[in-house]
Structure 1
Amino acid sequence: MQSAADGSEMQARSLWLLVVLCAAAHAARLLAVLPTNTRSHYAMYGRLIEALAKRQHHITVLTHFPMKNPPPNVEEISLAGTIPEITNNLTRQHNTLKPHFIRNLEQIMKECVHACETVSQLPAVKALVNSTLSFDLVIVEVFGSECFLPFGRRFQAPIVGVLSSVPLPWVNEQLGNPEATSYVPAYMMSYGQQMSLWERMMNTLAVLWSKLLYQYKSQMPSQLIADRLFGPGPKLEELAKNYSLVLSNSHFSINEVRPLVPALVEVGGLHLDDSQTMPRELKTILDKSYRGVVYWSFGSMSRIETIPKNKLEQIFDVLSELPQTVLVKMNKRMLARNITVPDNVYTMDWIPQYRTLCHPNTKLFVSHGGLLGTQEAVACGVPMLTVPLYADQALNGRAMRDRGVALTLTLKDSNKESWREALQDLIKNPVYKQNAMKLKAKFLDRPLPPLETAVYWIEYVLRHQGATHMRSPAQDLSLIQYLLLDIIAISIAATLLTVFILHLMFRYLCTRCIRWWPKEKLVFENRLFRRNRSLFHCFIWLYKFKGN
């Protein structure tokens, strides 16, 4: 164990970190689809930057969301405005025969590669690549492209990845982390951990197909971008095997129980921030809602006001029947003119979600099932009604439903009756709240808070110059060696050879050495064999016993 003196020295030493947090990879990968709240994702990374800055590290940040008042030890290279702000609506239709998860993955990878292409052409980024600066650590966002991985090689520094979701199939492969597709559902499959034969087969195929898509839709075009920016060098898939650490925004209490190599650390809830401020108007509404509050938000990207008119009217009709106050994050000015908002519904353009969910009067969270919002609801002990729209939201909704804290509806197939039944059940049945409080206790019960855990492991990598001892040996094995196909082949061959030799030996003994079987009996057995082919008679016929 490191001494306290070593820890103090670690804090005092000025370490330069290059943080390539391409929040644009989140914003851009969500372009033209129904994404989760990208600003919330950046809040996760921003919290990490602030914590590292407080530890007196010097940080250079490439970001699309620069701080208003950065501390003196944080230098920002602003990318704001280089990629237009992404907006989507819920009326978008996809006329394609491709499965939903394939279409989502392709879109995510396309937008991430587009973000890489845009950012890599900026003069400030090119100047950084050609600078004489030196860094002790490079932190990159892990998701749909790896075009910035060569920063580690450029500055001869270890790489730490931050991932805003559960471990992705290609990330597992890069770290040598087991997939365990028999009980760990894939990122975009809405399965639980108790899968049927068909689900296990489809889950395995989804993981394999995701890796194939990633290779052709992301790695190949990202390689061209990286070669233009950094010059020819090692392949991205080889550089990806050198992650010193990947911090995953997941936790076994609310996501899947899965095997983890030492270099993959779960820090789910990293973005939770008790310092959020609440507008006075909102606080007044929450405090006066003695019957409770139902909070409805689909994030900043999926606009509730763009739900098809007839569907939104049905939902509003059901909400108007509730005795609770309904708080909705939406732009009321964007609603169709002939849609009437019920009297018990309050709309706001922006709502501090975590503070709102943790208010004692909040009884229910109607959500699209985004992972960050799900974590906030769990941390506040609030039951959920999830309406998955995209990506891993169906997986998150399924996980919450399996834990007894949520129900799930689909926007397309739901109607007034299904909304009414789900809302009434979640509000009136105390079991959901009880389960939510139990899950909250499990989620928050950790040796260290998630932010402190993330900082500890980053500094652990710094202390041990890349911590190569955490690297899994599985990364150096071929697929044949990793799956033990060579051992299985040798075992099968040895077994077949042994059986064949025994067969030859026994046949020789039966046909050359054994003379005790009566000839009359053998003739009788041969006739009986034609009538009734038992195992014993087959044995007699196979080895052709000779009579005296």
Structure 2
Amino acid sequence: MQARLLWLVLCCAAAEAARLLVVLPTNTRSHYVMYGRLVEALARKQHHLTVISHFPMKNPPSNVDEISLAGTIPEITNNLTRQDQSLKPSFVRNLEQIMKECVQACETVSRIPAVKDLLNSTVMFDMVIVEVFGSECFLPLGQRFQAPVVGLLSSVPLPWVNEQLGNPEATSYVPAYMMGYGQHMNLWERFANTMSVLWAKILYRYKSQLPSQAIADRLFGPGPKLESLAQNYSLVLSNSHFSINEVRPLVPALVEVGGLHLDDSQKLPRELKALLDASNEGVIYWSFGSMSRIETIPSDKLAQIFEALSKLTQTVLIKMDRGMLSRNLTVPDNVYTMDWIPQYATLNHPNVKLFISHGGLLGTQEAVACGVPMLMVPLYADQALNAHAMSDRGVARTVSLREGTADTWSEALKDLLTNPKYKENALKLRDIFLDRPMPPLEMGVYWIEYVLRHKGAAHLRSPALDLSAPQYLLLDVIALSIAITSLTIFILHTLFRYLCTRCIKWWPKEKNIILEKKLFRKNFSLFLCLLWKYKVKTN
């Protein structure tokens, strides 16, 4: 009984208030929605945080110090009118763009005077929390402050992150980031999936790690290589969940906290609430998130979409600046636009029947948590992957922005609004997604404090990181098995030849000839029997 009470005390004990350094160099608002929720939760747990980010709090609590990066680099956005003229596959262009933007962000942040002053100060930290995405330039902070490093990943596990944690790739059934496959792939898809993972790791090595190493050496001085530091993450929190992403193997140091950003305290503005309440026929909500602006869709394509929307009886709510539209575009009467919309609160409204989305992971999680079917229009990065996952689960249809027509949009909208299976599947998926031992935000805080309690939690580290590539892939075991098998066959063959030679040597020659004839007849008779048994016709 005493042992059980001690176990309960250890499990439920909160970590003592600690000093945490949080470094978020990428200027992506959608990512910070997730990170900011975690920062606020850690602050409420009375930890003292120093936060380096592009999105400072409006009213930070007394235990949060901020180094604001606002205005140092432009916010990362995706202009939908941009046309890529390149022979490179789209996933390669996307990866290169992400890595380029992340390395540029590291370069800019590393030159901020306040950041340099922090590195030269005498302050110490109990933990360093860094963004894991397209660059590792701030990983040496862990060594500088002699503190464990925790990574925050706003997507599903990336190929290079899997390698850094010793997490299995399982490319036979886990689709790679940016490939847009499902979990049931044919031969060609499995081949392309495997090649894309290998190519992504090569790209990361030369497009991110090498330039990031130069930035780190300049900022921290000569030290361990980034690839070796990356193998010492104490923990990585991934914004994914098996219910809506892939079922995949996970090492203990990689924890899924998909939905961490969901905020039930979000409220609807009075005007928006009145609009939603009055829409008895239902509401279709359309948003492409904070990075992609609907206004930048080419006018001819947007006109086709408006034509399809105008045929609906439902109110269509769009996150869009109407003033940026081309003058020759006519906005349908049933369309209502707003510059900013609280997305999660809107999707939670019972009158919202459908969500038109670009397939971003955060918006997808919000729609799933609210049980709302989706029409997905993948544009960039992992959005095709998310769209395929939702289509496989029967809660979404996918339309191509480039190839879709007014008829395509009309057919998809009609199917989603009239076929009850989409809503039924959405409600089932919602129940699965939300059914967890604890809410994702609490889980994220728990594991961070777990690392604090256990002084870096080195026991979470995978032993696979200590193996060479041939050892991990069992190439040495395969080689040894082939060698043993070959040696055994050689010995048996040699022994058989020796015994046969000895027997024939002492057998009379006349009997040898008779024996050979008997053996021939016997074997030939057996051969004929086999032909008859298996109905083999001879010519």
Q: Same fold (TM over 0.5)?
A: yes
* Aligned equivalent of 2:57, options 38, 62, 67: 67
AA partner of residue 103 (structure 2): V
Q: Which moved more, 1:378-387 or 1:407-416?
A: 407-416
Cα distance in 2, alignment partners of residues 261 and 8 from structure 1 = 23
Cα distance in 2, alignment partners of residues 4 and 492 from structure 1 = 51
AA partner of residue 109 (structure 1): M
Q: Does 1:137 align with 2:140?
A: no
Indicate the residue corresponding to 2:450 in structure 1.
460
Give the 3-state SS of the residue equivalent to 1:184 in structure 2: coil
Indicate the residue corresponding to 1:92 in structure 2.
82
TM-aligned CA deviation for residue 7 of structure 1 = 7.7
Q: Does 1:20 align with 2:23?
A: yes
Q: Does 1:174 align with 2:179?
A: no
TM-aligned CA deviation for residue 9 of structure 1 = 7.0
Give the 3-state SS of the residue equivalent to 1:302 in structure 2: coil
Cα distance in 2, alignment partners of residues 397 and 10 from structure 1 = 39
TM-aligned CA deviation for residue 6 of structure 1 = 6.1
Indicate the residue corresponding to 1:542 in structure 2.
none
TM-aligned CA deviation for residue 3 of structure 1 = 6.1
- Check 1:310–1:429 CA distance in 2 against 1; reply closer, same or farther (3 A cut): same
- Check 1:86–1:144 CA distance in 2 against 1; reply closer, same or farther (3 A cut): closer
Give the 3-state SS of the residue equivalent to 2:300 in structure 1: helix
Q: Does 1:504 align with 2:498?
A: no
TM-aligned CA deviation for residue 502 of structure 1 = 1.0
Q: Which moved more, 1:197-206 or 1:514-523?
A: 514-523
Q: Which moved more, 1:498-507 or 1:434-443?
A: 498-507
Give the 3-state SS of the residue equivalent to 1:351 in structure 2: coil
Indicate the residue corresponding to 1:358 in structure 2.
348
TM-aligned CA deviation for residue 416 of structure 1 = 1.3
Indicate the residue corresponding to 1:32 in structure 2.
none
Q: Does 1:158 align with 2:152?
A: no
Indicate the residue corresponding to 1:102 in structure 2.
92
AA partner of residue 39 (structure 2): I
TM-aligned CA deviation for residue 238 of structure 1 = 0.5
> Could you report, residue by residue, the CA deviation over 1:271-309 in whole angstroms, capped at 9, with x for unpaired residues?
001111222111111111111111111112211111111
Cα distance in 2, alignment partners of residues 86 and 448 from structure 1 = 33
Indicate the residue corresponding to 1:485 in structure 2.
475
Give the 3-state SS of the residue equivalent to 1:407 in structure 2: strand
Indicate the residue corresponding to 1:433 in structure 2.
423
CA RMSD, 1 decimal: 2.2
Give the 3-state SS of the residue equivalent to 1:257 in structure 2: coil
Indicate the residue corresponding to 2:269 in structure 1.
279
Indicate the residue corresponding to 1:470 in structure 2.
460
Indicate the residue corresponding to 1:35 in structure 2.
none
TM-aligned CA deviation for residue 521 of structure 1 = 6.6
AA partner of residue 58 (structure 1): H
- Check 1:524–1:498 CA distance in 2 against 1; reply closer, same or farther (3 A cut): same
> Could you report, residue by residue, the CA deviation over 1:450-509 in whole angstroms, capped at 9, with x for unpaired residues?
000000000000000000011111111111111111111000110011111111211222
TM-aligned CA deviation for residue 85 of structure 1 = 2.9
> Could you report, residue by residue, the CA deviation over 1:378-406 in whole angstroms, capped at 9, with x for unpaired residues?
00000001110000000000000000000
Cα distance in 2, alignment partners of residues 112 and 404 from structure 1 = 35
TM-aligned CA deviation for residue 524 of structure 1 = 10
Residue correspondences, number? 520
Give the 3-state SS of the residue equivalent to 1:140 in structure 2: strand
TM-aligned CA deviation for residue 60 of structure 1 = 0.2
> Could you report, residue by residue, the CA deviation over 1:320-376 in whole angstroms, capped at 9, with x for unpaired residues?
000100001111111000100000001111110000111000000010000000000
Cα distance in 2, alignment partners of residues 87 and 471 from structure 1 = 36
AA partner of residue 406 (structure 1): A
The sequence identity of aligned pairs, in percent, is 73
TM-aligned CA deviation for residue 512 of structure 1 = 3.2
For structure 2, the residue ranges without an aligned partner over 5 or more in a row are 529-539
Indicate the residue corresponding to 1:423 in structure 2.
413
Q: Which moved more, 1:511-520 or 1:43-52?
A: 511-520
Is the 2:172–2:190 Cα contact (8 Å) retained in structure 1?
yes
AA partner of residue 18 (structure 1): L
Give the 3-state SS of the residue equivalent to 1:89 in structure 2: coil
For structure 1, the residue ranges without an aligned partner over 5 or more in a row are 28-37, 536-548
Give the 3-state SS of the residue equivalent to 1:274 in structure 2: coil
Cα distance in 2, alignment partners of residues 324 and 105 from structure 1 = 38
Q: Does 1:300 align with 2:303?
A: no
Cα distance in 2, alignment partners of residues 329 and 14 from structure 1 = 41
TM-aligned CA deviation for residue 87 of structure 1 = 3.8
AA partner of residue 152 (structure 1): G
Is the 2:305–2:406 Cα contact (8 Å) retained in structure 1?
yes
* Aligned equivalent of 1:396, options 386, 390, 397: 386
Cα distance in 1, alignment partners of residues 43 and 10 from structure 2 = 19
Cα distance in 1, alignment partners of residues 406 and 521 from structure 2 = 76
Indicate the residue corresponding to 1:309 in structure 2.
299
Cα distance in 2, alignment partners of residues 325 and 136 from structure 1 = 52
* Aligned equivalent of 1:326, options 313, 316, 329: 316
Give the 3-state SS of the residue equivalent to 1:364 in structure 2: strand
Indicate the residue corresponding to 1:198 in structure 2.
188
Cα distance in 2, alignment partners of residues 508 and 110 from structure 1 = 69
Is the 2:29–2:75 Cα contact (8 Å) retained in structure 1?
no
Give the 3-state SS of the residue equivalent to 1:207 in structure 2: helix
* Aligned equivalent of 2:434, options 432, 444, 457: 444
AA partner of residue 432 (structure 1): Y
Indicate the residue corresponding to 2:331 in structure 1.
341
Indicate the residue corresponding to 2:537 in structure 1.
none
AA partner of residue 157 (structure 2): P
Q: Which moved more, 1:439-448 or 1:501-510?
A: 501-510
AA partner of residue 38 (structure 2): L
> Could you report, residue by residue, the CA deviation over 1:397-424 in whole angstroms, capped at 9, with x for unpaired residues?
0000000000111111111111111100
AA partner of residue 148 (structure 1): F
Indicate the residue corresponding to 2:484 in structure 1.
494
TM-aligned CA deviation for residue 201 of structure 1 = 1.0
> Could you report, residue by residue, the CA deviation over 1:222-264 in whole angstroms, capped at 9, with x for unpaired residues?
0000000011100000001110000000000000000111110
